[in-house]
Chain A
Amino acid sequence: MSAEINTDSSRVEIKQRVVRVALAGNPNSGKTSVFNALTGLRQKIANYPGVTVERKSGMLTGPDRQPFEIIDLPGIYSLVPKSLDEQIAVDILTGTCPVEPPPDLVVVVADVTNLPRNLYLCTQIIDIGLPVILALNMMDVARKKNLQVNVEGLARRLNIPVVPISAKQMEGIDELKDTIFLHGRKGANGRNGHSILKSVELARVCEPLVTWFQEHGIDSPSGAYAEALRVISQPQALERWQNRNGREELSGLVQKARQELDARGIPWKQAEVRIRYAAIDQICAQNITQPKSTGSELSEKIDRILTHKYFGPVFMFLILATIFQSIYTWAEVPMTAIENALGALGQQVEQLLPPGPLQDMLVNGVIAGVGAVLVFLPQIVFLFFFLAILEDTGYLARVAFIMDRFMAKIGLSGQSVIPLLSSFACAVPGIMATRTIQNQRDRLLTILVAPFMSCSARLPVYTLMIGAFIPGIWLGGIFYLPGLVLLSMYLLGMVAAVVAATILQKFVVKGESTSYIMELPAYRMPVWRFIFYRVYEAGKAFVTNAGKIIMAVSIVLWFLASYPKPDAKHQQDMLALEKSGQTVDSFHEIRQSYAGRLGQLIEPVIRPLGFDWKIGIGLITSFAAREVIVSTLATIYNLQDADETSVDLRAALQNDRYPDTGKPVFTPLVAISLMIFFVLACQCMSTLAIVRRETNSWRWPVFMFVYMLIFAYVASFTVFQVGTALGFGS
């Protein structure tokens, strides 16, 4: 982390130390809004090394150009972590994180309308001995509720600066910045904060433990006392000390303390919580005047409709249907525009450059690759726009509340609903939307099954195959067979997701089973500025991370399909053959490219699924994007500008025969086998690239590709072999 460099050449460059300021707070305390208000767009989002947890940071420039790095820690309720992202936050604060030292200053963001629970964390952080500033957020809501807070009183009692703010209204942000600048530069001298745990009933019970912790690295008496209470109360807290020296001694002391508490009739699990909340309730009683509640709040009134027993699900369906409909229809316009613009650019390049490998690579490799990346942007932008609104208004939590019943059955929670629904449009934004899932196990599981949802890129494949091979007959006068087959493909994807989720959580994504304890935040108006940040962030993350991989793979695929070029002699031989009236292998050009050779190489493997080597080429090139198989087949069959509805392409497929047996290459059974393969296989480099980005490792995308391929192979194999045995093969 280098300091900002002074560009003014007349001055002497002084490298200033970066002051590191961590934002900590409960989920839903408005911490991220405060982060946005402080740093604006000067944000850097990366992952902590080796884990899926995002590290968000931004720079602030203080007086004398002193640089301040603001780090947005994952939301936590206490210093005892229950999940991976909480673990990171706690490790950083307590100084046990191997990749990130403890901050110079902690800004605790607290929801002022829910102060007791927020103070629980704040007082714990004070006890660590780090310098703390308390930012009382949502003061605007408090005013509306007529809630009065004695800010000075709180500051005196806790002995820390307390700044009332409203990040949403940009209120008090300058004061908060000034307070950060003032206190951030004090370093360890800035230690402030009075522990609220002083002179309480349990001091004597904890004494041996306090002494032990002071001998083992916790200097401050209040910090040692807080840690003593924590290891008594919480087995997880004790585990954090288990791999250090003297742990047997520690376990013994903890056992003894627990026995003493039991003897006094105090449940040891509640030791810390009880003491802390008792003190906090006292502080709040002295410093907050809360008006008597005047009936039900606005949120409750809204919920009477939005989570109503009957209207709730109806409204949810209408809201989500509108959103996904608009993602499809609105995104269509810019997507077409992007495709047209890149098509025009390609033509320009074709005119400017002489034909040859360079022109070919620019047009069919680079520009096509740029297109493959950019074409996702409209959907990502639209989805994240709506997702940010749903989340910031508080409605997303209600969707989870309504849908949890069903998701619980497959071992997920209601929070997975939106990412899975989004994946019907495209798995890329769907997988990015899993960031709203708090539980890391649920998030990974959702990512791994999301690509089973039939995305819009599969539709051209279904359309082509159904149009060419499924007869348009009415079953019983009610069901139109092609429509029924299309529906089956969508249902198959969903069933596969359920099966995969069940298997994966047994063997792969074990971890704790879902504990669904979720806050239902009060409804709020969204702040457009923050929604814009979210959309911008999502788009940037996609283009800069996944975009590079997609681009590289596009060029490789172009190379495989174009090289080696047939040599001159080969061309002449073919021409001579044609002139002499003999039948010519019309596939000779593609057959001897690398892609063609690969297709022939894998033919023995895919033959049991009913696929020949030409379909094999399609399987390889469609890795760029599923619908590419359509244009690949069109190229193989020498058709210009054919798409999935093209009659020529359908006819070409219907008429293709195996040269040795004369049997048709494509039959309805082959078409179904191929569609099933496309439902189940992860034939999409963009999905794999985004999984790489979101999980921060190649392990999960590789695993995903392999396990989905196995699903696809087994399913297509079974359908084709059983179908053939039953006589549906012709």
Chain B
Amino acid sequence: MDALLLTDDEQKFFGSLPAALKEEWEVQTQIPMSEETPSQLVLRYKMAHFDDPRLQKIMKGLRGDMSRDSVANALRSVNIGTLSMEQLAELFFILGIGVMSRMITVLLQCATTDDDLEGVAGLTRIRSALHEANVSQSQA
């Protein structure tokens, strides 16, 4: 079982979970992380490469109709969890530290099982990897 790498604020959400759910988990403190700037994220969006055929098909469908219903249906038809690791990596890179952190907060608030916390642990690992990559390049 991975440890949960949580910020101080996230540890408060973890602290409010039922004792039985928390007992097996080790929590480590994630050092404060800077979020990417909007202009950095814009560049990442422009560099992104989503070649999953399902995403391409959705995109083609949206070209003719970007109404509320059509966008909502497109969103419903994509389950990000079924994407390949490469496509997930593309996604997390464009989401950045900020949105990933909000996903972690949401998952901590919804967590009812060990599997949910496994998901939190995984997300915190990926966020930490992104943070390290950000820092290594800003210092280069």
Chain A complexes with chain B:
no
